[in-house]
A and B are shown apart, each in its own frame.
Chain A
Amino acid sequence: MLSRTGVATCENIESILPPKERLQKGPVAVIECFQQIPCNPCYSSCPRNAIKPFDDINDLPVLDYESCNGCGTCIHNCPGLAIFVVDETYTEEEALVKLPYEYTPLPKVGDLVEALDREGKKVGQAQVVKVQNAKGQDRTPVLWVSVSKHLSQQVRNIGMEG
């Protein structure tokens, strides 16, 4: 249970996962925000208004999957670092996961790193495809990593040790 472990359950994830048809169309945000807290930057930062307006600042974000193009602006604007972008159309075998990464050293493009799940366990290998760290991201770099397609909804961090 999320509130005891800090790890989202399958039910949690299923409740927010974009439908299969949408995932097959290209990159889309996966917003892993399951607790009502007073917070709305995902909504106010989205350039495409794909996150529905909040009636109350404590509302959970609701994503309009069709309007979202997976640009990732919300990733570095989310104070909880709870948003990821997943592109299951990246290659035949691989999916692309965009994740926030506020640690040093930053990996370099091409690096092979550990693919970690929501418990920090190694579930496979990831390759760094891009390191976004523009000034506007205000020190929240976003890593683009490619992983085996079946891991697209598991990999949420990387490890530099292995």
Chain B
Amino acid sequence: MRIEDHPILTYPRRRLVTFTFDGQEMTGYEGEPIAAALHDAGVRVLRESPKLHRPRGFYCAIGNCSSCLMRVDGKPNVRVCVEELKEGMTVETQKGKGDLLAEL
């Protein structure tokens, strides 16, 4: 959910863009972190841990901790808390350790 009514802040937002999450079409604001758009849409689980397959969400939201790694446009290990949302992006839950070489 978006905060529309805040005593201190206003939120300058760019245009709405469409992207997909695990094949499902979603919208978010261009340039905001992918994680923000996903959170707004109610998505909490962003990847599975490599060994025990436990669900993981974001933790630090500023690109420090690597809890939020996802596959974006086929590329694994993208920190979606700091990766800007663009029109037409394909965002997928990451399972296992992303192998950059295998993917490319």
Spell out A's residues near B (CB within 8 Å).
102-105, 139, 141
Which residues on the B side are within 8 Å of A103 (C-beta)? 7
Q: Report B1-32 residues with CB < 8 Å from chain A CB.
A: 5-8
Inter-chain contact A102/B5, CB cutoff 8 Å = no
Chain A residue contacts of B5, Cβ below 8 A:
104-105
Q: Which residues of B contact A105 (CB under 8 A)?
A: 5
Enumerate chain B residues within 8 angstroms of A102, measured Cβ to Cβ. Answer: 7-8
- CB-CB < 8 A to B7: which residues of A? 102-104, 139, 141
Main SS of the interface on chain A? loop
A–B pairs, 10, beta carbons within 8 Å: A102-B7, A102-B8, A103-B7, A104-B5, A104-B6, A104-B7, A105-B5, A139-B7, A139-B8, A141-B7
Q: Which residue of A lies closest to B9 (CB)?
A: A139
Instruction: Give the total number of A-B pairs whose CB atoms are below 8 A apart.
Output: 10
- Do most interface residues of chain B lie in helix, strand or loop, or is the interface mixed? loop
The smallest C-beta distance from A132 to any residue of chain B, in angstroms, reads: 14
Residue of B nearest to A105 (CB): B5
| CB-based closest 7 A-B pairs | A102-B7, A104-B7, A104-B5, A139-B8, A103-B7, A139-B7, A104-B6
Select from chain B the residue with minimum beta-carbon distance to A103: B7
Interchain CA distance A50-B7 in the complex, whole Å: 30
In angstroms, Cα B37 to Cα A97, docked, is 42
Considering only CB atoms, which chain A residue lies closest to B5 in the complex?
A104
* Alpha-carbon separation in the docked complex, A109 to B7 (Å): 18
Chain B residue nearest to A101 (CB atoms) is B7
Known: A103-B7, A104-B7, A139-B8. 7 other contacts (CB 8 A): A102-B7, A102-B8, A104-B5, A104-B6, A105-B5, A139-B7, A141-B7
* Chain B residues, Cβ within 8 Å of A139: 7-8
Q: Which residue, of B5, B6, B7, B8, has the highest number of chain A Cβ atoms within 10 A?
A: B7
Which residues from chain B contact A104 at a C-beta distance below 8 Å?
5-7
Give complex CA distance A30, B6 in Å.
28
Convert B64-79 into 0s and 1s, putting 1 for each residue whose CB lies closer than 8 angstroms to a CB of A. 0000000000000000
Bound form: Cα–Cα A102–B8 in Å: 8
A105 CA to B5 CA, complexed, in Å: 8
Task: Kindly supply a per-residue 1/0 record for chain B positions 23-61, scoring 1 wherever the CB is within 8 Å of any chain A CB and 0 otherwise.
Answer: 000000000000000000000000000000000000000
